[in-house]
Amino acid sequence: MAIDTTSFERLVLGDERLRVFNDTVPAGILVVRVEDGGVLFVNRFFKEVLGMEGAGVLGDTWRELFVDPSDRERLMLSFVAEGVVRNFELRLRRPDGRHVWGLVSLADIPIEGEDLLLFAFVDISALKEAEEEIRKLANHDALTGLPTLRLFKDLFIEAASRANRNGGQFAILFVDLDGFKGVNDTLGHGAGDHVLQEMARTFLQCVRGTDKVARIGGDEFVVLCEKITRPMALKIARRIVEGAGSPMTVAGREVRIGASVGIALYPANGTSLDALMKAADDAMYRVKHSTKGAVAIADAPSRKIAAEGAPAG
């Protein structure tokens, strides 16, 4: 005779040890029929974590609980292969639409000749949130909120993959501030931090919505511009120079900084981030030492530097 939800719950609540286990174990427990995925039992902790009222999912199938259906498929494939599953990470869906991260174990518990699965779920949402915060801190500059070099490397890999598929090109702009050291030395590091924050906001306003701006250290920034022509790369670089040259008030004083920009194109000037950043950096420094607020582009294949002075105005 097939076990139904009522008889299984009566079995659990009728046994003192199982009843105590149901009320106190700090893990969500489901008992599921292998045949059709029907849920026979849900413990109190599972209902609390998933925000379920009353009987919860009793009588339903567990398929609706999974945020990603492929998680259930991979879980069952692991179970079939190993006979038991431990520490499997996945997300379950609450009735209010929110997602809950969990660490899952799965084992069979044949009862009265029927194949049943014991699904144990430990809520790790807080851990996942902490991991995400750590990733954010590692990938974003604490002062400006811009991506760090670590994240910029990932953005480059994605851009290179798209360019290779589509036969396109993109640009790397290397931006170095002019006169930043003087602000730091005369007005202090607090003023220098303010300048960097203002420059970050300015650069974001100068680029297109799809472009990526990162701070890679000190007063150095890089910009990744996908699906771009050489003239457009020069245009964006000139905007950055113009924006950086605008006066700003720092510590009650008006200061002018400025920026010099070097440009390298993928794949003409290289196919690795190191090669492109070196080409752009070399282009920028050659003109920076002779003309502040200049834009320079590295020409392939000899990487001859084509320099363009700062725009008038």
Catalytic sites, residue numbers:
219
Strands (E), the chain: 28-33, 39-42, 85-93, 99-108, 116-123, 170-177, 212-217, 220-226, 248-250, 253-255, 259-266, 295-299, 304-308
Question: Distances in Å between the alpha carbon of 5 and those of 8, 42, 44, 238?
Answer: 5, 10, 15, 70
Q: Do 39 and 58 touch, CB atoms closer than 8 A?
A: yes
For the purposes of burial, counting CB atoms within 10 Å of the CB of 215, is it exposed (0-12), middle (13-18) or buried (19 or more)? buried
Choose among 180, 172, 179: nearest CA to 213: 172
